[in-house]
Amino acid sequence: MKYHNKPILLFIMIFIFITMSVGCNGSNPIIPGIVDPNPAVNPDNSTVSYIKVTSSSSTINVNQSQQLVVKGYNSDDDWVILDKSNIKLWDWNALGCPACFEGFVNLSPKSGSLTTTFSCGKIGTFYVVAYYKENPGDEYIHDFTEIKVVN
């Protein structure tokens, strides 16, 4: 009887080890990427009136990554399809002393994408902004979100 318990016990231990390895990634959890944050179809009024920058969390740890997404809306507040090539710039600013964070902030990509990834190696409060320009000669449409980096 004891001989048959050893393989079962070994199987259970391996299963627990694999579960813990996959489920625990330390302080840097895997953040699923958004492939296309656009709706499936455009409404009749597809002119972009405003954009919204969102993230899954407003607080992250030092050296943790956070994906941000921009979505576009028309004057009827309907979600519209954005052309990623019209995202002219993703940028950041910091509360207090922005120059103190130079070299610690990573924002990638900085243009041409409806998503960007933000990370910082220092504690602080940051504002990540997206600039969208639908047609040459138009004003930039922009929005930002606040991210607090904690220890």
142 pLDDT tier (thresholds 50, 70, 90): very high
Q: Is residue 88 within 8 Å of 111, Cβ to Cβ?
A: yes
Amino acid letter for position 77 = D
Q: Give per-residue pLDDT as tens, 59-117.
A: 999 999 999 999 999 999 999 999 999 999 999 999 999 999 999 999 999 999 999 99
User: According to the CATH classification, is domain 31-150 in 2.60.40.1080?
Assistant: yes
pLDDT value, residue 31: 47
Torsion of CA 87, 43, 54, 113, to 10 degrees: -30
pLDDT value, residue 93: 97
Q: What is the average pLDDT value for the chain, to the nearest integer?
A: 86
37 pLDDT tier (thresholds 50, 70, 90): confident
pLDDT value, residue 100: 94
Please give the model's pTM, rounded to 2 decimal places.
0.76
Where are the strands (E) in the chain, listed by range? 50-55, 59-61, 66-73, 79-80, 87-94, 105-108, 115-120, 124-132, 141-150
Domain ranges of the chain: 31-150
Say how many C-beta atoms besides its own lie within 10 A of residue 75's C-beta. 10
